[in-house]
A and B are shown apart, each in its own frame.
Chain A
Amino acid sequence: MVPTQTLRKHPPLQENLLLILHELQNGSGRNYLTEEDLQAVAEYLNITRAAVYGVATYYSMLSVKPRGRHVIRLCKSPVCDMMGAPGVTRILEELLGVAVGETTPDGVFTLEESACLGRCDSAVSMMIDGQYYGALDAPALARIIGRFRRG
């Protein structure tokens, strides 16, 4: 979507900054904010580029670096860690062929870590885009990733 269409949905007030950034990132299909996006927001809200960039790089849900179509967020909580998160991370890295923080060359997945997802009852857990997945082990991961690859 062209940034201006998203921008015009909200009054040009600084308190709308986060909302606008989320909509731009998630509505674009790109899963990240381009410099053109950030520039358009700065102009629309009459604030400086650093004010936009600072917010966009502070929150882990926002990204200013290119990301894949699907963003995998592995839970980094102590509970998941005790329940085997390091092993799950390794399996995922092998499945995808990238390390945490990287995007697959085909642009399908970006692998990230997340603060506690709050689902310790079904650790080890992760989210892909908006969807939650728990009780992860090697077969579960292969199934889930396979489904995304086919879809």
Chain B
Amino acid sequence: MSTGKRSTVHIDGREISALEGSNLLQVARENGIDIPGLCYHKRLSPTGACRLCVTRIEGRPGLVMACTVAVREGLRVTAFDDELEEARRHTLDYLLAEHDDDYDGTWRDELRELTDRYGLTDPAARRYPNICREIGYHADESSPVLTYDAAKCIKCFRCIKACEEIQGKSVLSFSERGIASHIIAGFDRWEESECDGCGECVQLCPTGALVEKPHRATIRLDRLERKVISTCPYCGVGCQIELNVQEGRIVRVNGVEDFSPNYGRLCVKGRFGCDFVAHPARLTTPLVRRQGELVPVSWDEALTLIAERFGAIRDGHGPDALAGYASAKCTNEDNYLFQKFVRRVFGTNNLDYCTRLCHASTVTAMLRSIGDGAGTNSIEDFARTDCLFVTGNNMIETHPVTATYVKAGVRTGMKLIVCDPKWTPLVKHAHIWLQPRLGTDVALLNGMIRQIFEEDLVDRQFVDERIQGGQDALRELRLQVEAYTPEVVETITTVPADLLVEAARTYARAPTAMIATGMGMSQQVTGTNNVFALINMMLITGQIGRERCGIDPPRGQNNVQGATDVGCSPRLFPGYIPVTDEANRTRMAALWGVSGEVLPADPGLSTVEIMHAAHEGRVRGLYIMGENPMVTDPDLNHTRESLERLDFLVVQDIFETETTRYAHVVLPAASFAEKEGTFVNSDRRVLRVRKAVESPGEAREDWRILVELAERMGAPIGQYESAREIFEEIARAAPMLGGISYGRIETEGIQWPCPAADHPGTATLFLERFNTPDGRAILNPVDHVEPGERSSERFPFILNSGRLLYQYHSATMSRRNNSLNSFVNESYVLMNPLDARRQELSDGERVRLYNGRGELTTTLRASKEVAPGELFMPWHFSESPVNNLTRGELDPLSRIAPFKLSACAVERVSTHTVRGQ
């Protein structure tokens, strides 16, 4: 372990200053002394298996492996002399005797590089004959994404440690002994193992024993045209990826080793999910609907038509008859210009996007209580805090790389409390699992708060200093939660009283504690109240306002954070300044070169409200950029009717989607890999997106389409040469991004708030004050309300919905990757085995789910992952659209829809076919 003290070591006569306790091999390499080695990797604990990094150390007998030595003052090391080099050559020679030398140019081979360096490439130069064939090594090619070839394996442990230490999965192990030993997953059959395909082992394999399967036939590393560092287009972790391009296509993706947030880690989607970019179904030309069919037209024709039709609606029915859906998949630059377009060209604040459907309630509650809706911490804190409370967040599947930090934290003593009505893989790592009935979160949290009062675990000093109303506010909260005794809460939630007490104690007593809250909390009619209750618990225990304390809502999409940061909201301008704030409106108007009256002052409609207004004829024209409401919106039958009633619908996307079916014009957009820009991840880090390949056909960057359309509609929104220029304007518009520029985030992103060019960015929010007018946080006592929708005799089940690791949102991107589809590509519904027996349904049967709003068919899986009376379905699969069953009823405070709780009935799909007469 490093002590923070520096010491001096001498390597081959060179004096080197290094941190005491740091790894000698690493220190040598960082100083340009290239001691060979194969089993050591800077992200792993040292192994000392390959024996190539042998050195001589004064005062120690024999040869010492540098990777096993911790630096201390006065260490004198010989790294290179004839004897050491001979020892290394001999070891290498010995390794090569069991090794298959075949090389097809598809992986970086560190062993091969060393073989070359030590003059052993020619078998005639070797001392030992090759016995690799006689050993009878086998290969495991059963995984959909990788192959393992034991004949190439040098048993260095890197893959095993990558899986265990970095990813926290421990899927790999050795089987057999001695010369026969080899790496296994599961019972020596990869495809049946717990391996989830993240490929960390492949990235760290030094010899080509583990190689990616996709594109293996075409990729040749010496023919790569470029490697482009960018940001992953899937979830909100914001992993830094290296896109390897050959013949104009992305053929491989690696994790970028040295930078936050992922330090080389990826999940299966990041590594194997970029094939959609080159998918043949990409939109390549504008399409206009004629006689019911979408037909290709020129850009000029499409844009002229759009300008005419949107213009006519604006002029004939007023600006508020138009609306826009921005996109959490697009860059900040795209989204900034989209909101500028809607406000300046349409002249309305009817502007929203899918954030309304995921974290709107979280953000609403956080804004009202503590003044910012973004996560308070950095991703690294998930490994460093003393206690983590994960609620309604299936993190291992939805934010797999964040989960790697959590698992690392658990290994070093962090207490993990998971709260979820459904079993999630994180439960395996948890100390406490609370399994409340769906829709009873407020009761559970009020119960925990009451227990915290009972045991006097309240942080009085924090309450006095940092909460509005201090002790008075505290008393009010105490009164509100008085009725929630552990016994009462057990009746409401089914969570055993002793478990609730233990969870409350564990959270409140921890020296530092963090909360990760997800869709399970937010996507309810009581979503905002749920998060209020969570924040109340956090505030009275003082588990915020310090490092490694706070609340973090990991973001579902790559740029949900950024799209709101840059103003894609019916209520907020860039930088979270309300549209009703006149001074700011004037400031924005000046920045945009228009007069203040041009910008609409009234808050606009939100996502589901826009659909309701379309249904009622109040909204007549809708511009959708990169969203797919025909999968993602609640109550799809209603959504379909709404879209059908529109006079004019424009959808701009990279593929045809369930929504483009209703569009009058479809515009082909550039994917993330075809443009420059920035995303903001869940820890408020502004990260660069870079162009790696050309767009197919005539597809264009979203912002270029917006600029040209604005011209044609007679309300220019600016002349920009590049995304960089747009970002410079964003930095002027949103004060919290004011100090960030492309130049500063060339290698590593910066976390906002970053108000000035010399500001380092902010790792933890609210260390000094909350972002409220008086700097103090606000308690919002709330009561449990029984869910508006309950099970009944007609609809006896409560359906929950969520995401899977291998698919993503409406699946527009993820289902266009064979690698991901080979893991999971089918809809299913989970039902508790007791219920299945009672309903006389069996595992694997086709079933119909229905309620008053709609129906769907899917496959039944009997599983203890759900409680009796409850069901769970992944919502990615549009052939079994979960949102046929969900409600458009909205949380009164945040306007979020209750995706997590719909009553429905289940019946067997009749196997008898009715024959025609």
Binding site for B on A (CB under 8 A): 35, 38, 46-51, 53-54, 57-58, 64
Question: B177 an interface residue at 8 Å Cβ cutoff?
Answer: yes
Assess A53 versus B186: contact at CB under 8 Å? Given A48-B193, A58-B175.
Answer: yes
Binds A, one of B166-174, B403-411, B460-468, B835-843: B166-174
Using a CB-CB cutoff of 8 Å, which residues 184-239 of chain B contact chain A?
184-188, 193-194
Assess A48 versus B188: contact at CB under 8 Å? Given A54-B174, A54-B175, A58-B174.
Answer: no
Of the candidates B172, B184, B187, B428, the one whose C-beta lies within 8 Å of that of A46 is B428
- Complex interface: chain A residues within 8 A of B193 (CB): 48-50
CA distance A33 to B344 in the complex (A): 72
Give the nearest-CB partner of A46 in chain B. Answer: B428
- Complex interface: chain A residues within 8 A of B428 (CB): 46
- Cβ-defined contact, A48 with B175, below 8 A: no
Assess A48 versus B187: contact at CB under 8 Å? Given A57-B176, A58-B176, A58-B177.
Answer: no
Binding site for A on B (CB under 8 A): 169-177, 184-188, 193-194, 428
CA distance A13 to B187 in the complex (A): 21
Q: Which 3 pairs across A and B sit closest by C-beta, in order of nearness? A: A54-B173, A50-B173, A49-B186
- Complex interface: chain B residues within 8 A of A38 (CB): 187
Give the nearest-CB partner of A47 in chain B. Answer: B170
- Complex interface: chain B residues within 8 A of A53 (CB): 173, 175, 184, 186-188
- Complex interface: chain A residues within 8 A of B175 (CB): 50, 53-54, 57-58
CA distance A121 to B172 in the complex (A): 43
Give the nearest-CB partner of A54 in chain B. Answer: B173
- Cβ-defined contact, A50 with B176, below 8 A: no
Interface of chain A, main secondary structure: helix
- Complex interface: chain B residues within 8 A of A47 (CB): 170
Most B CB within 10 A of own CB, among A38, A46, A48: A48
Give the nearest-CB partner of B170 in chain A. Answer: A48
- Complex interface: chain B residues within 8 A of A49 (CB): 186-187, 193-194
Of the candidates B171, B174, B176, B177, the one whose C-beta lies within 8 Å of that of A48 is B171
Nearest CB in chain B: distance from A65 CB, A:
12
- Complex interface: chain A residues within 8 A of B169 (CB): 48
- Cβ-defined contact, A50 with B177, below 8 A: no
CA distance A54 to B175 in the complex (A): 4
Nearest CB in chain B: distance from A143 CB, A:
34
Give the nearest-CB partner of B194 in chain A. Answer: A48
23 cross-chain CB contacts under 8 A:
A35-B187, A38-B187, A46-B428, A47-B170, A48-B171, A48-B173, A48-B186, A49-B186, A49-B193, A49-B194, A50-B171, A50-B172, A50-B186, A50-B187, A50-B193, A51-B173, A53-B173, A53-B175, A54-B174, A54-B175, A57-B175, A57-B176, A58-B177
Nearest CB in chain A: distance from B153 CB, A:
14
- Complex interface: chain B residues within 8 A of A48 (CB): 169-171, 173, 186, 193-194
CA distance A51 to B184 in the complex (A): 9
- Complex interface: chain A residues within 8 A of B171 (CB): 48, 50
- Complex interface: chain A residues within 8 A of B184 (CB): 50, 53-54
Nearest CB in chain B: distance from A12 CB, A:
12
Most A CB within 10 A of own CB, among B176, B187, B428: B187
Given A35-B187, A48-B193, A50-B172, 18 additional A-B pairs, CB 8 A:
A38-B187, A47-B170, A48-B169, A48-B186, A48-B194, A49-B187, A49-B194, A50-B171, A50-B187, A51-B173, A53-B173, A53-B184, A54-B175, A57-B175, A58-B175, A58-B176, A58-B177, A64-B187
- Complex interface: chain A residues within 8 A of B187 (CB): 35, 38, 49-50, 53, 64
CA distance A49 to B187 in the complex (A): 6
CA distance A78 to B187 in the complex (A): 34
CA distance A49 to B194 in the complex (A): 8
- Complex interface: chain A residues within 8 A of B188 (CB): 53
CA distance A133 to B795 in the complex (A): 71
Give the nearest-CB partner of A51 in chain B. Answer: B173
Most B CB within 10 A of own CB, among A35, A38, A46, A51: A51
- Complex interface: chain B residues within 8 A of A54 (CB): 173-175, 184
- Complex interface: chain B residues within 8 A of A35 (CB): 187
Most B CB within 10 A of own CB, among A38, A49, A50, A54: A50
Nearest CB in chain B: distance from A75 CB, A:
18
Nearest CB in chain B: distance from A41 CB, A:
12
Nearest CB in chain A: distance from B284 CB, A:
45
CA distance A64 to B185 in the complex (A): 15
CA distance A49 to B172 in the complex (A): 9
CA distance A50 to B194 in the complex (A): 9
Give the nearest-CB partner of A35 in chain B. Answer: B187
Nearest CB in chain B: distance from A86 CB, A:
21
Give the nearest-CB partner of A60 in chain B. Answer: B177
Most B CB within 10 A of own CB, among A46, A47, A49: A49
CA distance A38 to B175 in the complex (A): 14
- Complex interface: chain B residues within 8 A of A50 (CB): 170-173, 175, 184-187, 193
Nearest CB in chain B: distance from A77 CB, A:
17
- Complex interface: chain A residues within 8 A of B194 (CB): 48-49
Give the nearest-CB partner of A59 in chain B. Answer: B177
CA distance A51 to B188 in the complex (A): 11
CA distance A91 to B428 in the complex (A): 53
Give the nearest-CB partner of B192 in chain A. Answer: A49
Nearest CB in chain B: distance from A112 CB, A:
14
Nearest CB in chain A: distance from B316 CB, A:
64
Give the nearest-CB partner of B181 in chain A. Answer: A58
- Complex interface: chain A residues within 8 A of B174 (CB): 54, 58
Give the nearest-CB partner of A58 in chain B. Answer: B177
Give the nearest-CB partner of B171 in chain A. Answer: A48
Nearest CB in chain B: distance from A118 CB, A:
20
